[in-house]
Amino acid sequence: MRACVQHGYGGPERLELTDLPQPNPAKGEMRLRVLACGVNLSDWEYLTGAPFYARLVGGLMKPKRPVLGSDTVGIVEKLGPGVTGFAPGDRVMGDTVMTRGGFAEYACVPAAAMTHVPDALSDDIAACLPQPGGIAIAGTENVAAGQRLLINGAGGGSGPLALQLAKAAGAHVTAVDNAGKLDWLRSLGADAVIDYRQQDFTATGARWDRILDMVATRGPRRIARALSPGGIYRAVGGDVRVLLALLAGGLATRTQGKSIGMLLVPSGRDLTRRAATLALEGKLTPRIEAVLPLDAVPEALARTGRGEVRGKIVIHPT
């Protein structure tokens, strides 16, 4: 089978399109013929080995698994021992961030992470939902009408989905990203936009009730001054030192009635099912910039790592 293989940590030059033996599912796994796989920022992190938590999961000195790609949609071909609830021919979707493997013609995935794709969802839309949809749902949980929400890194895969859910809840949304995405974010419904290269949102004097930070680069003191009394800040990812500082500093800000911490996104199929249901209801509409072949994975990851992609890129392995 054809696969995009990672040879060590680094940039896109560490990737090679090559042939691998077709995998066989272990206990609790099933083999898929991959139809589509969404490109995520987590793929870039596993490729570069940074932030450091990517190495803690993916292998300290070299990658444990040679094939990236975690938001996988495919047809079940073979069930491993102990797998129930699925049958060959089923079309399934799921976030396999812990095992990856979606940038290939075939992938063995943990059955516990997968759910059936609703007939009305296309392969490409389904491939944009598991990881970004889960982040968007968890990151906007309990957002209420009239609240002020800021999304830092709003123009990637999860940001537009979080923007949709927040606007549907009646929130005022400020979207932060690079200048090339600001008009696009306005067209998606953002009430205000900030170019992070020109302005630090924590230095504007404005206050927000909620901040959802896709890539944390600011410590707790700076974040606290951008939160309203009783405000909530949640970081999705970022540099390990910043995340540790946020966790430590978050304890101090609680005395001010502010909550600073990491966004905890429940793993498993339940959140993917919820994202699929919202997509069917028209409440979540992924923004797909491009659908590309397997040999375009290096380019897709490079653009994702540079923050250039508006929404999502989807890879078709065949």
DSSP class per residue in 6-44: E-SSSSGGGEEEEE-PPP---TTEEEEEEEEEE--HHHH
Four-CA torsion 253, 256, 261, 263, nearest 10 degrees: -170
Question: What per-residue confidence (pLDDT) applies to 295?
Answer: 97
Q: Which parts of the chain sit beneath pLDDT 70?
A: 249-255
**Residue 47 and residue 10: Cα distance in Å, rounded?**
6
Note the pLDDT of residue 263: 94
Q: Which residues contact 245 (CB under 8 A, 6 or more apart)?
A: 219, 220
pTM: 0.94
pLDDT score for 318:
86
280 beta partners? none
Distance between CA atoms of 118 and 107, rounded to whole angstroms? 21
pLDDT at 254: 62
